[in-house]
Homo-oligomer: A and B are copies of this chain.
Amino acid sequence: MITVYGYSPSGNCHKLRMLLSHLGREYHWVETDSAHGATRKPEYLAKNPNGKVPMIETDDGRIMTESNAILCWLADGTRYFAGDAWQRAQTLAWMFFEQYSHEPYVAVARFICGWTPLDSPRRADLPKLRERGDAALAVMEKHLGANAWFSSLGYGIADIALFAYTHCAADGGFELAKYPHVVAWLDRVRAQPGFVAMPPYAAENTTLIAQSRHV
């Protein structure tokens, strides 16, 4: 059984919870609060020098990091990472898009709204983050106007990777109603067998997000 070191409100960590649930695989979850320094402790850095969640550990002590790489390993040989080399590379292309063009804006805007004080200087970054996040959502909207899924051949790990922070983009101040194909796709993801929702945030984060709507 694998051990997942993850912070529950992290979309990157939630990706693993979703896929493991779809696959019906048992796992051990170690809550690792990256927002309060848990990934900067020496014992964590000894396993992952990059100091990020999620990380998985196998029973024989092997480590893997990077949420999307872990998805590829877990989904290998299943319908969630299907197709020939070209089709699997197209799935990977959306996963690299997610990490480079989507997460640094959509996820970071949400983090600033819910996980930094209302007077944080980082809040000055929000307009730029929202502009770039909107550009990523527009690319998704265009694709979903002609395709049901991001993974080749059907729902799979590219959809899971992109769902992770898109479903909670409103918490970062994004208006998902502007992207009707994205909204419909989010609902299709939620209807997949074994789908599991992200756990509720802590009260302090929910409060900060609500207060961010007025600043």
Contact = CB atoms under 8 A, between A and B. Distances in A.
Interface stretch (A61-69, A192-200, A202-210): A61-69
24 contacts: A49-B142, A49-B143, A50-B97, A50-B101, A50-B139, A52-B101, A62-B86, A65-B97, A66-B96, A66-B100, A67-B96, A68-B92, A68-B96, A69-B90, A69-B92, A69-B96, A70-B89, A72-B85, A72-B88, A72-B89, A76-B89, A92-B92, A100-B103, A100-B104
Of residues A92, A101, A142, which shows the largest number of chain B Cβ atoms within 10 Å of its Cβ?
A: A92
Interface in A39-76: 49-50, 52, 62, 64-70, 72-73, 76
A69 to B, nearest CB: 4
Among A85, A90, A95, A99, residue most surrounded by chain B Cβ atoms (within 10 Å) = A99
Contact of A93 (B49, B66, B139): B66
State the number of copies, please.
2
A93 B64 contact: yes
Interface in A10-45: none
10 A-B pairs with least C-beta separation: A73-B89, A69-B93, A76-B85, A66-B93, A66-B96, A69-B92, A99-B100, A69-B89, A72-B89, A49-B139
A149 to B, nearest CB: 16
A121 interface: no
A151 to B, nearest CB: 13
A68 B101 CA distance: 14
Given A77-B85, A85-B77, A92 B72 contact: yes
Nearest to A72: B89
A66 B97 contact: yes
A77 B88 CA distance: 13
A198 to B, nearest CB: 21
Contacts of A62: 86
Contacts of A92: 66, 68-69, 72, 92
